A and B are shown apart, each in its own frame.
Chain A
Amino acid sequence: MSDVVEKTLTALPSLLSLDSHPGSAKLSSTSKLGNLIRGITELTSKHEEEKLIQHELLAIKEQVSSPNTTMRQMKELMVRSIYCEMLGYEASFSYIHAIKLAQQGTVLEKRVGYLAVSLFLNESHELLLLLVNTVLKDLQSTNLIEVCMALTVVSQMFPKDMIPAILPLVEEKLNHPKEIIRRKAVLALYKFYLIAPNQVQHIHNKFRKALCDKDPGVMTASLHIYLQMIQENPDAYKDLTPSFVTILKQVVGGKLPMDFNYHTVPAPWLQIQLLRILALLGKNDQSTSEVMYEVLDESLRRAEMNHNITYAILYECVKCIYTIHPKSDLLEKAAKCIGNFVLSPKINLKYLGLKALTYVVQQDPKLALQHQMTIIECLDHPDLIIKRETLELLFRITNAQNVTVIVEKMLEFLCISEDDHTTIDLVGKVAELAEKYAPDNEWFIETMNTVFSLGGDMMQPDIPNSFLKLLSEGFDSVEEDRKLKLFAVNSYVPLLRGEPGKLPQRFLQVISWVLGEYSHLREDLEPAEVLSLLAKLLDMKNSSSETKSWVLMAMTKLCKGGTDASVTQEVSETYSSSLDTVLRQRAHELQYLSQDPELRARVLPRGANPETLEVDSSLSFLDRFVSEALAAGAAPYKPPHQRQEELDQSKALSLEPYGLSLPISMSSCSITDRQSPTLLSMSSGLSGDSADLSHKGGSSALKLDGVKRVWGREGYLAQREPVEEAAQVEVPSPIQSPGRQGEGDSLHSQTPTQTPTPEPEQEKQQLASSLFVGLASQSSVSLMGKSEPTPQRFRRKAKGQGPGSSFNASEQISSSLISPPSAVDNLLCNNLLDSNNASELAEQTSQLSQRLTTANGTCHTEAELTEPDTKGCNPALRRDNCVVAADPGPHDDPGRLTEVCLDSYLPAELSGLSHSEIAPLCANQSLNLSACHVQKEDSLILVVFIINSSESAIQQMLLQVDSEELEVSCLCDSPAGEMTSHSVAVGQYSLTVKRPAVHVEVVGTVSYQLPAGTSQSLQFSYKVPLTSFIRPFVVSTEEYGTMWLSFSHDTKQNLTLINDNQEPLTATLNALKKKLQLHVVEVIGMEGIVACRLLQDLPCLMHCRVNAGWLAVWLRSPVPDLPDCLIYHCQRALQSL
């Protein structure tokens, strides 16, 4: 009875809501959600909010765990929890209920359950595993709405390890008759690609199918995947360029259905996406760029309507035009377009124009000249954002002649900026410019002083470091050197005499170092005075212990005994009992060295050349320590990235039984096989650096000076001699066309203008002439009368990006934000769009002509697309049945010649076995390297041939081989020592798999010494197909069964069946057996079980079943990634039949 009443009661609010519009606000005002919302709108303080939400959380907690709560109530509870979390209060107790709601609810309840899960949990949350079954069930549902929901949540978040469980179902959906399901399936695959690219590498042909889908929505979704893949490897997708061009052409031409339009502009965001893809494809590639010129031209032409969104397209178009191989008339149009942007009175467009200009001046600095007056105006713009963007632009066009003005402007901005992030960024840029283009010593030191004072302790630590390095290394002229150092000393002494307490710690450290090293250069300065100035720093309350250590170091360098003794004595006594061990050490050093001038002169010689230091970068002196530590059971060194990877893996749930985890044999850690430990770490460091560089290359500084200029208004500039360029400088004539006026002014500010200009105008023009000097002539002509010195006398390393986003934890909400609640109510019910500028909505003036062509409304791209290519799957290795190197073909190919010759050098015990083609690895004037691999029953041997092709012998030759994925162990002795002229040395290595990957690679180095004594090295890499490691794994059906249950990593996939003769299953399995050396354990009816192992002993089991014309295979292995890799090679093997 009471049950019925309760049900009626709970149904009441929703019954009320049924007859009204879903968006109506009145409906749930009686519900608990309504109460909460009303409570929230009436809040006046943070304190009240806390009270309200804590109370709410208690109520939710109580109700959520009650067994009587219906799914409908649960849905409301989840929305209330979302509210609480949105306001920053954790509701973690409700997470599990969100998953339950997704599982048990129907329609809207289910959707809200999924929504709550995606809002509450992050992608690595372990509760997410509980969602897998629900997703699996919904994907198989006959209700399309449920399938949709499941796909939506999958494309938002899904546990990486569980992808194989649902991948076949998602793939199946790619063929669904409904476009929305196909589209969402593609987006889900995109998600998989983002989080686990190797899981979906075998379905690239399906991406192509999605790209050709007759529905534009599905095609659009596939572009996300393509943009990503093209970003990673543009060369692999060049063949798709015509397809992208055709799609863009059709979109621009209005061939899409009307509902893709936004304010009469056809699918603007799709256009932007396509333009980004084209830019990536056309970069540094003339022939590909040529394919897209026409459509880019059309895009520029079509986008003439005056609406924000067309400007957004134009911006992308301009960027594309300036990224791909240049074409003069397009560049001209794009430049004009940028002009419209910067000149626009609309501030958002102006901003975008500046951003585009900043991008473009890197290719063509002259473009800045055209807009110099606008840029000057932007520099004085009241909006700081515009100002900041303008400085960014100026930073890109800085050269030795305008550096002082630009740096001055940047420092001005620094003084008014309050944002830490901006300060760090700008300070770094000023320091960079100062080092690159400093016109003289005084300016350089003064600018750096400002940098150190303003940048404070937030700036990148490498700024002071490289400044000190620069001072100590100096440059060509000894006299210049001395002047620079002296000037630095001169500028620091008054700073210390003044109020050093106000200076940042970093600056104090720089000052102490410089005074310690160079204060002797100033003859009238008594060391005693410097010592007492430094000692004063020690007494300051806010000096950090790091600063103190710098100061003590400086004092050690300066003290000479005698009169200074009292100061140093006092200081060293104070700090020799310091709790800080570094300070204590410094104090002791100071004490001893000040008493022993001879020792001091030896330890800290004055004016020592820092370059004479020799560094043993291989850290060979540690070898003994390392081997002892290893012998004592220490873990072998792993480079940071590998450690990180393993850490990540260990964080995930390990389902693997302990006994079967990767065996790391101790022998591989012994000192002989270890090769150089630094080789490994150094190469990994290098690769990290290069990734960093390439990443930076896109966004950061481009040095204009010293960089060869390849762009111009007319397109690529021919490689002219600098002299010629200097001669090319335009001679300004007094009569100029108005368009060129600005350019002329910049070159010669004294050029008489025809109309008298008002005062401020003249000021601006003067500023312009100083800012844009040197741009037109590419810095080859100096207006300052002296020829420009080679500006890069100081060179600095690329800096890392600023520290990651760190948010100020200021909790306080400014009181000005809170107004009395009465005003709130009035505003709450206002229609959002009404209050807007009417003009933005009133742009419905349509282009009917465009719409007429949309009759069939689909993209016809199929014809344009080529079949999925199969390049790259040519088997690199000739197998058993192939006879290698006995090819009687004509010996005209030099590569073949060496192969035949080298064949005879193959070690006798290997000569009878099949081996891969002997491939050249690398060569220089003295050495030629080749390699091949030899298949043995239980191992794979890599043979490296080193040929001394020079006329002289080489010494101390050392060959080192290593691999990320493979275990490399040296068979017999690695070739080493001396090699006579025209001799061949052979190295043999046994390879086994450490970590499976689709392609595995061996990297190596040969180092040697020429007779002259110079040491050289050659690096190489050698790819080995994973298939050459596969060996049959002979087990009985029973053994197979027990192993199957104990293996935890698996993947499932449908493969094509071979249908040529009687029995498809046997035929397919035999083909796989032959190609991949798998062992067929048993075939029972429509099922077959197969086993193989990867050298040395990584087993993988395969279960095959014929199902609806496909071979459904299920792979299991104790080794992560092995099933994925193997399935990839099975597909390749079957494709190549």
Chain B
Amino acid sequence: MVCTDNIDFTIPLQPAADRRMIKFVLMVNRQGQTRLSRYYHSVELSRRAALEADVVRYCLSRKKDQCSFVEYKDFKVVYRQYAALYIVVGITDSENELSIYELVHNFVEVLDKYFSRVSELDIMFNLDRVHIILDEMIQNGHIVETNKSRILAPLTAIDKMVES
């Protein structure tokens, strides 16, 4: 057959890796302001703010006794509240929600260990370091390290180099 049409057959081929993964990690406060965002699949910058506002509004509307896992469009959202800060993780349907819920806590415990009693301001003033910590834990949407001392090892080594 002859290719006479101009139809764009851009069917987004889903790589196999997308089947089970973390799609994004957000830190948002009760006012709906984003304190940290990390995407593991490509979302255009222009669409992120709307997505975040939407997801956060959804999470904020939920009561304490309600389920910490919500369906949002075609994926799931796991959220956990720490003081005025919400940590929100977007995952695909086949992920294990509870293990992600605990991963969030592990992340906060790591932050708490590094900043000794972490607060929202610590996160704001050390956005780069929080990202470095998160990068040690999650890569390509997969959990790559959960051992607290190993997560912190590269960053503490950098800190030591800076000091000396």
Using a CB–CB cutoff of 8 Å, the interface residues on chain A facing chain B are 18, 21-25, 27-28, 33-34, 37, 40-41, 43, 75, 78-79, 82-83, 85-88, 90, 107-108, 111-112, 115, 118-119, 122-123, 144-145, 148-149, 152, 155-156, 180, 183, 187, 190-191, 194, 217, 220-221, 224, 228, 231-232, 259-260, 262, 267-270, 272, 308-309, 311-313, 315-316, 347-352, 355, 383, 385-386, 388, 419, 421-422, 619, 622, 625-626, 629-630, 634-638, 640, 643-644, 647, 677-678, 681, 695, 698-699, 801-802, 804-814, 817-819, 824, 827-836, 840
Contacts and interface: CB of A to CB of B under 8 A. Distances in A.
17 contacts: A22-B126, A75-B128, A115-B128, A145-B157, A156-B139, A267-B147, A308-B102, A312-B98, A626-B1, A634-B3, A677-B1, A699-B93, A809-B50, A810-B53, A818-B31, A833-B112, A834-B117
Contacts of B9: 640, 643-644
A312 B102 contact: yes
B69 to A, nearest CB: 6
A33 B151 CA distance: 26
A156 B42 CA distance: 13
Contacts of A386: 67
B32 A262 contact: no
A112 B98 CA distance: 32
A259 B142 contact: no
B10 A268 contact: no
Contacts of B97: 348, 351-352, 355
Contact of A809 (B2, B3, B19, B47): B47
A694 B142 CA distance: 23
A112 B96 contact: no
A833 B75 contact: no
Contacts of A383: 66-67
Nearest to A425: B74
A809 B120 CA distance: 28
Contacts of A122: 42
A998 B13 CA distance: 22
B128 A827 contact: no
Interface string B55-69: 011001000011111
B66 A82 contact: no
Contacts of B154: 145, 148-149, 152, 180
A813 B2 CA distance: 51
B16 A348 contact: no
Main secondary structure, interface of A, reads helix
A308 B68 CA distance: 12
Nearest to A832: B82
Contact of B109 (A118, A630, A833): A833
A187 B126 CA distance: 26
Contact of A810 (B45, B46, B54, B120): B54
B86 to A, nearest CB: 11
A678 B1 CA distance: 8
A821 to B, nearest CB: 9
B118 to A, nearest CB: 5
A1046 to B, nearest CB: 30
A828 B1 contact: no
Contacts of B117: 831, 833-834
B74 A347 contact: no
A460 to B, nearest CB: 14
Contacts of A829: 119-121
B127 A82 contact: yes
Interface in B100-132: 101-103, 105-106, 108-109, 111-112, 114-122, 124-129, 131-132
A87 B135 CA distance: 20
Given A22-B126, A348-B67, A86 B37 contact: yes
A90 B45 contact: yes
Contacts of B74: 421, 801-802, 804-805
A846 to B, nearest CB: 16
Interface residues of B, number: 102
A155 B139 contact: yes
A24 B31 CA distance: 23
Contacts of B159: 22, 108
A776 B87 CA distance: 43
Contacts of B96: 272, 312, 315-316
Interface pairs A-B: 6 shortest CB-CB? A23-B115, A637-B1, A88-B49, A827-B84, A832-B82, A312-B98
User: Which has the most chain A C-beta neighbours within 10 Å: B48, B56, B102, B126?
Assistant: B102
B97 to A, nearest CB: 6
Contacts of B128: 75, 78-79, 82, 111-112, 115
Contact of B48 (A88, A220, A835): A88
B93 A115 contact: no
A224 B143 CA distance: 9
Contacts of A625: 2
B65 A811 contact: no
Contacts of A27: 125
Contacts of B29: 824, 827
Contacts of A833: 82, 108-109, 112, 117-118
B36 to A, nearest CB: 7
Nearest to A89: B45
B51 A807 contact: yes
Contacts of B129: 22-23
B126 to A, nearest CB: 6
B94 A119 contact: no
Interface in B13-48: 13, 15-17, 19, 29-34, 36-38, 42, 45-48
B98 A308 contact: yes
Nearest to A640: B9
Contacts of A149: 154
Contacts of A840: 105
Nearest to B49: A88
Contacts of B82: 832-833, 835-836
Contacts of B10: 644, 647
Contacts of A85: 45
A153 to B, nearest CB: 9
A191 B73 CA distance: 28
B31 A119 contact: no
A308 B140 CA distance: 25
Given A232-B16, A833-B82, 13 more contacts: A21-B115, A23-B122, A25-B119, A25-B121, A79-B127, A82-B127, A267-B146, A308-B98, A312-B96, A636-B2, A681-B1, A819-B30, A832-B85
A115 B101 CA distance: 25
Contact of B98 (A232, A311, A626): A311
Contacts of A830: 83-84, 119-120
Contact of A107 (B16, B56, B124, B162): B162
